[in-house]
Amino acid sequence: MLKTILSSVFIVCLLVSCMEKSKMNNNIVWQPDNEDGTYKNPVIFADYSDPDVIRVGDDFYMTASSFNCVPGLPILHSKDLVNWKIIGHAIQRFEDERFDLPQHGNGIWAPAIRYHDGWFWIFVGDPDAGILMTKAKNPAGPWEPLHLVQEGKGLIDTCPLWDDDGNAYLVHAWANSRAGINSILTLRRMSPDGKKLLDEGTLVYDGRNGVAPTIEGPKFYKRNGWYYIFAPAGGVREGWQLALRSKNVFGPYEAKRVLEQGGTNINGPHQGGWVELENGENWFVHFQERDAYGRVVHLNPVSWVDDWPLMGIDSDGNGVGEPVSRYKKPDVGKTYPVEVPQTSDDFDSQKLGLQWQWHANPKDNWASLTTKPGWMRLFAVPEPAGFKSLWSVPNLILQKLPAPEFTVTARLDCTGLVEGNKTGMLVMGRSYSYLAVEKTSSGLRLIRKTCRDADRNGREVEEAGEDFASDTLLLRVEVTDDEICHFSYSENGINFKSIGDAFKAREGRWIGAKVGLFCLAGNERQTAGYADFDWFVFE
């Protein structure tokens, strides 16, 4: 009788696993394409901070800040500016060994992507190192190793311009935390090969007079004989978009406010990139700050009035645009299939899905997709010396929150855990919470832990715990529109039991909250264990 019951439970779990895997490519938790010729904002409800975009022929490419997360500098592709997919990353790891441990908020800040002379280029600032550059023939990669264009502290938010006469320039902003100055934009001559700057720079805009505080994120363009610098000012939440223009590359530049929140609920709106279609349409991609959801991506139409851009719609007639929430799609000549950045993963590939990132440079012994085909094996990695919380742990495998509300479920086989190991599902940020399986001397124990203010040395507190006997179970977190996370689990794949209190997600340092998995050992002697994950499914 017992064998019959166990066999039935196994069959049910197997059927649930197969059904969940079959849904991998069908679940879209946020769809901006209304499939009626219109779209809704955000076009990407995920944390792609400081986006920049270009058009090459009838293809669009986007990159964004990635800070300390690895791989970094994501590359996304679209055919219509509404439907996007991740196609690669420009950097696979940091060469600097300091990124072998989490460097929250450091690393890659506000890149600019350009296509010039048959190459795709990305220029980006690392506030602690200087201005960096990489290039590739294929935007999906491989990309060349990052090249240090200019060493220096506080050099951020870089953007190049190759002029019609063959001269090259680069504009950048400043990080007050490193350089002691901000709210100014500096323009510098650059070698045409993009490898070095040729002068100390010219101050082309000073926002310290209170008119444009915290001006940053400049993007450099030329149109109809005018040089333009598009840059946000006023701060991430309360700010607006400025357009600067001049007939001379070094100025003087006059300024005009071209996009503001106005009467909408779209705060900021903050920095982004401008593209022009073959048919003459103009569009602006930018971000909006959404707390734990991160900096989500919006698309707004652009019209030109007396050689000034007007972004969005001037609904109140004051000459300044406001963001749209719904609008007709860009006219690219045809309709393309609905596509969104990847989320769910069945772990059937031999390579990690492009949606995943680590919190530091990964090591080969952290994970394997080949040891047990069709599963991702996470090896138990020792907690760092002086462990207080997961804030200091590098081997967290995470991805962005993809929608205002969703449910994500993972199937776990914990047979490989040894005493002292723990593995589970995590919502990570300045505060975090997780549901994990812990192997103790007496067996398996399910624990729910939360850490408040992890970025300020907060410690984990256990909210709930219970013993259980099954080696295979489902872990789940449901996120609601108010950033509230509800954790639950199931041993049969049908009935889920809540565990612990609801948790309000918090953003990380310059990034949104993330959801994902981890596997830890308490010390070096406990590293022989591992956990196997069959799939990770969003609904």
Question: Among residues 323, 183, 318, which one has the least CA distance to residue 259?
Answer: 323
Alpha carbon distances (Å) from 534 to 238, 348, 414: 43, 9, 11
Q: What is the 3-state secondary structure (H, E, C) of 458-485?
A: CCEEEEEEEEECCCEEEEEEEECCCCEE
Alpha carbon distances (Å) from 26 to 145, 342, 507, 538: 36, 11, 28, 10
Q: Is the CB of residue 78 less than 8 Å from the CB of residue 327?
A: no
CB under 8 A, 24+ apart: contacts of 279-286: 279/331, 279/333, 281/330, 281/331, 282/309, 283/81, 283/330, 284/230, 284/241, 284/259, 284/309, 284/311, 284/312, 285/43, 285/51, 285/52, 285/53, 285/62, 285/81, 286/51, 286/232, 286/241, 286/259
- Among residues 216, 322, 383, 478, the one annotated as catalytic is 216
Strand order in the sheet with 254-259: 219-223, 226-233, 240-246, 254-259
Q: Is the CB of residue 65 less than 8 Å from the CB of residue 47?
A: no
DSSP string over 243-279: EEEESSTT-PPEEEEEE--TTSS------EEEEE-TT
Q: Is the CB of residue 125 less than 8 Å from the CB of residue 110?
A: yes
- Among residues 47, 50, 345, 483, the one annotated as catalytic is 50
Residues in the chain: 539
Query: In this structure, what are the phi and psi dihedrals at residue 302, rounded to the nearest 5 degrees?
Result: -130, 130
Q: Burial, 279: exposed, middle or buried (Cβ in 10 Å; 0-12, 13-18, 19+)?
A: exposed
- Parallel, antiparallel, or unpaired for β 514-521 and 381-382? parallel
Alpha carbon distances (Å) from 347 to 399, 470, 536: 14, 22, 8
Token match 């993330």: residue? 514
Question: Among residues 161, 172, 90, which one has the least CA distance to residue 131?
Answer: 172
3-state SS, residue 159: strand
Query: What is the Cα–Cα distance from 340 to 82, expressed in whole angstroms?
Result: 9
- For the record, the structure tokens of 521 come out as 């050992």
Q: Is the CB of residue 110 less than 8 Å from the CB of residue 271?
A: yes
- Parallel, antiparallel, or unpaired for β 84-91 and 184-190? unpaired
Number of H helices, E strands in the chain: 2, 38
Rg (CA), the chain: 24
Is 216 a known active-site residue?
yes
Query: What is the Cα–Cα distance from 268 to 232, expressed in whole angstroms?
Result: 8
**Could you give the residue numbers annotated as active site?**
50, 216
